[in-house]
């Protein structure tokens, strides 16, 4: 796996509103995944979660996360980002979820009653496949 910075080709794919799957770790160590929206911001990723979702609790306990983003044009091309949540903040005015909703659907987020939390993920390693295949492999154990 490669380390940041991400190449421009990967940033171009990640800038689009592509499907994304997020994996977190339960308290027993088992992985759990869920589809999610994301926004690439430089070398970090913005996520938004309903405060009642289990994955928010997972991240509060263990900030490690993996995101796999599938290129909407060809799902064979994908990028996996491995990192950790470096910031959790209340999204009191829903500005962050609105940004995500506009990015994916063109309008503000319709659910205005439920509290949300924003997570900022710092990318530690990444791996590309398909047209983004990278051959820069980390040493075993990294």
Three-state SS letters, the chain: CECCCCCHHHHHHHCCCCCEEEEEECCCCCEEEEECCCEEECCEEEEEEECCCHHHHHHHHCCEEEEEEECCCCCCCEEEEEEEEEEEEECCCCHHHHHHHHHHHCCCCCCCCCCEEEEEEEEEEEEEEHHHCCCCCCCCCC
Q: Is residue 102 part of a domain?
A: yes
Supply the pTM of this predicted model. Answer: 0.92
Give the residue from 24, 138, 125 showing the smallest Cα distance to 80: 125
Q: Is residue 113 part of a domain?
A: yes
- C-alpha to C-alpha distance for 112 and 52, rounded to whole angstroms: 14
Structure tokens at 112: 């205005």
Kindly state the percentage of the chain with pLDDT values over 70. Answer: 94
Q: Is residue 66 part of a domain?
A: yes
CATH code, 19 = 2.30.110.10
Q: Is residue 60 part of a domain?
A: yes
Q: Is residue 2 part of a domain?
A: no
**pLDDT, tens digit, for every residue of 71-128?**
999 989 999 999 999 999 999 999 999 999 999 999 999 999 999 999 999 999 999 9
Q: Is residue 59 part of a domain?
A: yes
């Amino acid at each position: 796996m490669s380390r940041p910075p991400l190449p421009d080709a990967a940033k171009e794919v990640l800038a689009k509103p592509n499907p994304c799957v997020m994996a977190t770790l339960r308290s027993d160590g088992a992985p759990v995944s869920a589809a999610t929206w994301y926004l690439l911001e430089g070398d970090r990723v913005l996520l938004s979660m309903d405060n009642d979702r289990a994955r928010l609790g997972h991240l509060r306990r263990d900030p490690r996360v993996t995101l796999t983003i599938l290129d909407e044009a060809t799902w064979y091309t994908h990028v996996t980002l491995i990192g950790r949540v470096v910031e959790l903040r209340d999204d009191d005015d829903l500005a962050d979820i609105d940004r995500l909703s506009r990015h994916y659907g063109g309008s503000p987020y319709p659910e205005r009653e439920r509290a949300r939390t924003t997570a900022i993920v710092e990318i530690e390693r990444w791996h590309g496949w398909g047209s983004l295949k990278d051959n820069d492999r980390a040493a075993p154990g990294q």
